[in-house]
Amino acid sequence: MTSAPGLLPPRRVARLWPLISASTALLAVVALGAVIFYRENNKPFGFELEWMSDIVEHRLPIWTVPALVFNALGGGVIAIFVVPFIIIAGLLLWRRRWAAIYFTIAVIVSPLVVELLKKSFGRPRPTDILVTTDFGSFPSGHSANAALIATVLGIVFARRWIWVVGALYTVAMMLSRTYLGAHWISDTIGGMLVGVAVAVAVWAPFALVLYRERQLPHSPPWRAKPAGPPAAPPAGPPAAPPTALP
């Protein structure tokens, strides 16, 4: 079987290892949550208390403003509707229909997993909080959202710079959550693992179609699709010239 011109030859796309990796990450989150839950009634670790104390002592407007921006990007109406709409619209404009479907499912599943874990462990949040929060500190929904977006876009586009930017965005989101006093460090680690796990788990059934879609030409949306080659003239003997009437 030959591949279409301009495409890489077909290959086997593994579906098992993404599920194993995602399951391992989710088990790590559950294990971390269990350790936190059964450790002195959800008491934070010593290094988390020291980190939070240093953060509160050194809060400055130059750090607070960007942290509040990350707070808006990762939660509320912007995170639930605006950011997903922009990403889905962008994927569709770049003619990546399967990628848009993949992201839509992942962005719905991730907060459901986060809320289930929050209600299961019920960890109290830090007391010195600069923003309004909901119930449950573990895991961090903002961190899960950032890691999910970074992982999905990294998988879809398979570009090193996207992975680097996504990793930096996720780490910045995690730091902003502890800076604002909304989460302990272990909450952000758990959230990051949830986001990555959901992105990889949902990727498994879409792996082959996403691979094929990635090999197709994706011209910018402002450029029309290139026209195909002109149709060949019909085969056969040339038509006889018309005869003049007497």
In the chain, where the domains are located: 16-128+135-215
Element (H, E) at 23: helix 16-38
**For residue 195, which of 185, 207, 203, 183 has the smallest C-alpha distance?**
203
d(CA 246, CA 240): 18
Q: Which residues of the chain have pLDDT under 70?
A: 1-14, 41-42, 218-246
Q: Could you give phi then psi for residue 234, rounded to 5 degrees?
A: -65, 140
- Model-level pTM? 0.83
In the chain, the amino acid numbered 38 is Y
CA distances from 23 to 15, 147, 188, 197, 203 (A): 13, 16, 19, 7, 13
d(CA 55, CA 179): 6
Rounded to an integer, what is the distance from CA 201 to the centroid of its chain? 12
**From 3.30.300, 1.20.144, 1.10.3470, 1.10.20, which CATH number describes the 16-128+135-215 domain?**
1.20.144
User: pLDDT at position 3, please?
Assistant: 45
